[in-house]
């Protein structure tokens, strides 16, 4: 996994930054790395990254920081998770997501 710093994302409207970001994503894919862009806050940033074939994004565009109980609810609904186990070892919180077993679709 390769993570693109938010300083690149903030400047995707600049030609040189966009070309550099595109080449980083292309090279990463050629090396079989998945790419995640951090700091995505605007829809236009997301749309550009989609066009550049970025694999994942993170940032305030989707959610801002929130209380843990709200996060647990969102994860369980949006990700089809049966339960979320939270273990806090100060100051880091670890999450374990328990997904329901999925049935295979017959051929």
User: Distance of CA 96 to CAs 59, 72, 88, 100, Å?
Assistant: 21, 11, 11, 13
- The full 3-state SS of 5-27, as one line of letters, equals CHHHHHCCCCHHHHHHHHHHHHH
Query: According to the model, what pLDDT value does residue 7 have?
Result: 94
User: Sorting pLDDT into bands at 50, 70 and 90, what band is 3?
Assistant: very high
Query: According to the model, what pLDDT value does residue 102 have?
Result: 43
Predicted TM-score (pTM) of this structure:
0.67
Is 56 strand, coil or helix? strand
How do residues 63-74 score in pLDDT, each as one tens digit?
Answer: 787 777 777 777
Would the pLDDT of 101 be above 50? no
Cα 51 from Cα 43, distance rounded (Å):
12
């Amino acid at each position: 996994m390769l993570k693109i710093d938010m300083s690149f994302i903030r400047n995707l409207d600049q030609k040189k930054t966009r070309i550099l970001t595109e080449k980083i994503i292309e090279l990463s894919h050629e090396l079989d790395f998945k790419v995640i862009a951090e700091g995505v806050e605007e829809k236009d940033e997301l749309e550009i990254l989609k066009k550049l074939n970025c694999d994942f994004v993170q940032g305030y565009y989707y959610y801002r920081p929130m209380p843990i109980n709200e996060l647990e609810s969102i994860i369980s609904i949006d990700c089809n998770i049966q339960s979320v186990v939270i273990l806090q070892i100060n100051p880091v919180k670890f999450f374990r997501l328990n997904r329901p077993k999925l049935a295979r679709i017959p051929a």
